[in-house]
Amino acid sequence: MRLVFNELSLAFPTSSIENGKDLMKELLLLYRHFVNIGLHKNILIKNNFNGMLLCEDYPIEKWRNDNSVDIELRRLFAGFNDKAEFINEVDYMEEFVCEKGKSIGLLVAALTDSIALSFKSDVFWNDNFIKGKVISINYDNLVEELAEAMNASRKDNISQLIEIIHQKKDDEKCGILTGIELWERKEELFPYLVFCDSVENQITGIQVAYIKQVIKKLDILNQFFKSWSGEAFNKNELPNVDPESSETLTRFKKEHTFKLPDGRELVFSYHIRYTGNYEGRIFFFPDNITRKGIIGHVGGKLPTVSWVNPN
């Protein structure tokens, strides 16, 4: 389980150097506590910390060289800073917007079930969950979805989130690390989904960065088809699901046709979206014969009348 720095919480400098020092101390002790209970040491960040201002004319770079600051805190920061990993913003097509503004850190936390680590710079950051919207573009239309990111700016947040943290850590013990493993365990993990043979190479070759997102979307589909009666399929009962237009399916019928394990060939229209450095799609077919979801494509967008060459 990862920590992601919430850059919006650095919306100060403070009124005094001492206040800045206090905020820095709280953040680092919180980070250490998370690491001690088993979270990943490498925090995800948007920008380098050193140039960030704690107070006017007192950037973090000055703080780390300030002899009045406890040496153990400065050593803790050295490890914290050296192990930080930069977020590659081009990997994310969406935006997370909350009351305080737009944040890539909160977006990553919301999409990857990570915890946003925040400075206690505003009471807004005291909550265990930061609520907002994830905004994306789908076929030139803005799509807004309610979302929330787990958040911590004080030790109370840890005690209130600890059950969720333990559950997610337990889940990660049997987590999928490679596309090959995901393919080998697909029947065990998704018993209400059927995978076309054409999907094997797509899943076994999937980039590690996308595995969790693909699993999350497949799980959403699996849970839906677990209780599906086989009656008329309603896309509104699932998040991020859209059909292709009839014009697209006529013009690009071949590209949207997949062979099922039982030999049937069907045109796939419905797809669920996931994020990445391309607009990921999982195409599925609601099969009222088996009452399962048939997966025909896991990867980039297929051609449409408004997106003829998606590759």
Do 247 and 218 share a structural domain?
Answer: yes
- Of the pLDDT bands very low, low, confident and very high (cuts 50, 70, 90), residue 48 is confident
Query: Is 309 inside any structural domain?
Result: no
Long-range contacts of 189-192 (CB under 8 A, 24+ apart): 189/215, 189/218, 189/219, 189/222, 190/218, 190/219, 190/221, 190/222, 191/222, 191/226, 192/222, 192/223, 192/225, 192/226, 192/228, 192/292, 192/293
pLDDT band at 53 (very low <50, low <70, confident <90, very high): confident
202-208 mean pLDDT? 90
Residue with tokens 């920061």: 77
- Phi then psi for residue 190, to 5 deg, are -130, 70
- With a pLDDT cut of 70, the percent of the chain lying above it is 95
Place of tokens 């060459």: 309
pLDDT at 214 over 60: yes
What is the distance between the alpha carbons of residues 121 and 23, in angstroms, rounded to a whole number?
Answer: 7
Write the DSSP assignment of 76-107 as a string of letters.
HHHHHHHT-EE--GGG---EEEETTEE-HHHH
Domain co-membership, 199 together with 164: no
Q: 164 pLDDT exceeds 90?
A: no
Contact 200, 229 (CB under 8 A): no
Judge if 194 and 125 occupy the same domain.
Answer: no
Q: Is 188 exposed, middle or buried (0-12, 13-18, 19+ CB in 10 A)?
A: exposed
> In this structure, are 23 and 156 located in the same domain?
yes
Residue 311 lies in a domain: no
In a domain, 304, yes or no: no
The answer to the question of residue 115 being in a domain is yes
List Cβ neighbours of 102 (8 Å cut-off, separation of 6 or more): 8, 95, 96
Q: Which helix (H) or strand (E) holds 280?
A: strand 280-287
Note down the domain range covering 130.
3-173
- In angstroms, the CA 9 to CA 103 distance is 10
Supply the pTM of this predicted model: 0.63
| Judgement on whether residues 121 and 88 belong to the same structural domain of the protein | yes
Structure token digits, residue 43: 């925090």
Last residue of a domain, one of 148, 173, 198: 173
Asked if residues 282 and 215 have their Cβ atoms less than 8 Å apart, the reply is no
- Sign of the CA dihedral with 59 first, then 61, 62, and 64 last: positive
230 shares a domain with 101: no
Residue 278 domain-assigned (yes or no): yes
Residues 150, 293: one domain?
no
Q: Are residues 249 and 213 in the same domain?
A: yes
- Output 82 or 168, whichever has higher pLDDT: 82
* Domain annotation covers residue 308: no
Same domain, 219 and 136: no
Q: How many domains does the chain have?
A: 2
Q: End of a domain among 173, 193, 211?
A: 173
> Mean pLDDT, to the nearest integer, of 186-199?
91
Same domain (yes/no): 141, 161: yes
Residue 307 belongs to a domain? no
Confidence of residue 128 (pLDDT cuts 50, 70, 90): very high
Which pLDDT belongs to residue 172?
62
Looking at the fold, whether 54 and 17 belong to one and the same domain comes out as yes
Q: Which residues contact 260 (CB under 8 A, 6 or more apart)?
A: 194, 196, 266, 287, 294
Percent helix / strand / coil, the chain, rounded to 5: 40, 25, 35
Average per-residue pLDDT in the chain?
89
In a domain, 271, yes or no: yes
pLDDT of 284 strictly over 60: yes
The two three-digit tokens of residue 309, written as one number: 């060459």
Q: Which of 124, 157, 173 delimits the end of a domain?
A: 173
Is there a single domain that holds both residue 103 and residue 209? no
Average pLDDT over residues 203-226: 89
pLDDT digits (tens, 9 = 90+) for 61-93: 999 999 999 999 999 999 898 889 998 887 788
